[in-house]
């Protein structure tokens, strides 16, 4: 599949908000106690044949970048890998030295994906998801494989 990747523009904001609502249960994402509204963040969209097939949103602060969301709408076709690679290339151009993200303890697919791309577990926050539910009650109590969701796992990579 040939992919084209471009930055999110203001014309994309409604599509981003709709995708985040569908994929994340509301228009907000909570990580490490911080509330993000991905539709307002910088992002990259992957296209195949002019149709969107993936989205990555991120927030840069100083020399560090948090990957807030990554959604491949077509699985197993390299969409997530292409978006991650494009982001890392852009961050290096900007002089950003570290990329990081938070996932939940049930999301073994994400942990595997990011580790294959050079990210390492850099912190575990026991009970962080339980606290995040106070802000975003839509977060389910059980996730992938029937695993109860309680903890955040941080992964990071030096660029």
- Tens of each residue's pLDDT in the chain, 159 residues: 789 999 999 999 999 999 999 999 999 999 999 999 999 999 999 999 999 999 999 999 999 999 999 999 998 899 999 999 999 999 999 999 999 999 999 999 999 999 999 999 999 999 999 999 999 999 999 999 999 999 999 999 999
What is the spatial distance between Cα 65 and Cα 139, in angstroms, rounded to a whole number?
A: 24
Query: Could you give the domains of the chain?
Result: 4-158 (3.40.630.30)
- Cβ-proximal residues to 8 (8 Å cutoff; 6+ apart), any chain: 16, 41, 42, 43, 44, 45, 55, 57
**Sign of CA pseudo-dihedral 24, 131, 151, 30:** positive
What is the spatial distance between Cα 91 and Cα 78, in angstroms, rounded to a whole number?
A: 20
Q: Is 106 exposed, middle or buried (0-12, 13-18, 19+ CB in 10 A)?
A: buried
């Amino acid at each position: 599949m040939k992919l084209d990747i471009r930055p999110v523009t203001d014309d994309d904001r409604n599509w981003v908000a709709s995708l985040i609502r569908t994929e994340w249960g509301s228009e907000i994402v909570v990580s490490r106690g911080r509330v993000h509204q991905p539709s307002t963040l910088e992002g990259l969209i992957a296209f195949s044949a002019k149709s969107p097939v993936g989205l990555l949103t991120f927030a840069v602060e100083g020399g560090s970048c948090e990957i807030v969301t990554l959604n491949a709408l077509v699985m197993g076709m390299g969409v997530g890998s292409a978006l991650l690679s494009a982001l890392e290339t852009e961050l290096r151009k900007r002089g950003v030295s570290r990329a990081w993200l938070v996932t939940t303890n049930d999301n073994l697919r994400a942990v595997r994906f990011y580790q294959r791309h050079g990210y390492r577990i850099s912190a575990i926050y026991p009970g962080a998801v339980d606290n995040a539910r106070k802000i975003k009650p839509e977060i389910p109590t059980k996730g992938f494989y029937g695993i109860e969701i309680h903890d955040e796992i941080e992964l990071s990579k030096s660029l």
